[in-house]
Copies of this chain bind each other. A is one copy, B any other.
Amino acid sequence: MFSAFIRKLSYGSDLTEADHDRLGALGHVREIGARQDIITQGERPEDVYVVLSGFAYRYKVLRNGKRQIIALLLPGDTSDLHVAILGVMDHCIATLSPCTIAALPQGTVTNLAQQHPRISRALRWATLVDEAISREWLVNTSRREASQRMAHLFCELLVRLQVVGVGDADRCPFPLTQTDLAEVMGLTSVHVNRTLQFLRDQGLITLRKHQVIAPNVGKLKDFCDFNPDYLHLVKRVE
């Protein structure tokens, strides 16, 4: 049940079997339906959340009603580990598809990190990767036009999901509607629709039945100049 979480963290640190066991027996696990808020802006978070299955996301709403999805939380991803320090959430986290979520009390995480250096390292690594992804998204929305921007997102998803054992090298689940996708990409849903048609015509991406299929992943990566370095997935050699 925690396999995605453990698989992901393994990229950040050489975890032992004992570490796996510790990570696999954490917190209070529950199922949450699709499109439910887990925590909202202004709230004071008590727990750290780990997505065990399903897609969740972070978002912000502007006063004019526009929404922006800031991050996708895939299986293995967590909400902010130290978030208690900030006191109050400056954005919301919600589910996109039905999710399995583990809620760990802040103290559990702190203890775990203090007592087990490899886990501590893995968690800090995960935090840094989240930041790196956030930076890449900023570049993506600022400097790539719609079609490449969207292709880049799909490349990222394919890699991130592959890491946690979801989907395949050339296909993966994708529970977002085109409207959701528009809120990720900083576009309108109309333009998302047209861009998807373009990508399909080019043989780059097909979106069907809540699944993304990339007939030719190499071509897709070339098209958007995808460089996965920012995901920091290389097994470290020290």
Contacts and interface: CB of A to CB of B under 8 A. Distances in A.
A12 interface: yes
Interface stretch (A2-10, A125-133, A169-177): A125-133
Nearest to A126: B85
B230 A90 contact: yes
Interface in A58-77: 58, 60, 62-64, 66-68, 70-71
B135 A232 contact: no
A208 interface: no
Given A131-B131, A143-B66, A225-B62, A87 B232 contact: yes
A146 interface: no
A88 B144 CA distance: 24
Nearest to A141: B142
Nearest to A232: B86
Interface string A115-155: 00000010011011111101111110111100000000000
Nearest to A237: B87
Interface in A191-238: 225, 227, 229-230, 232, 234, 236
How many copies are assembled? 2
Given A90-B229, A138-B141, 13 more contacts: A60-B139, A62-B139, A62-B144, A68-B138, A68-B142, A82-B127, A85-B121, A87-B232, A131-B131, A134-B134, A134-B138, A142-B185, A142-B186
Most B C-beta atoms less than 10 A away, residue of A58, A71, A82, A83? A82
Nearest to A70: B135
Nearest to A122: B85
A83 B135 CA distance: 14
Contacts of A137: 138
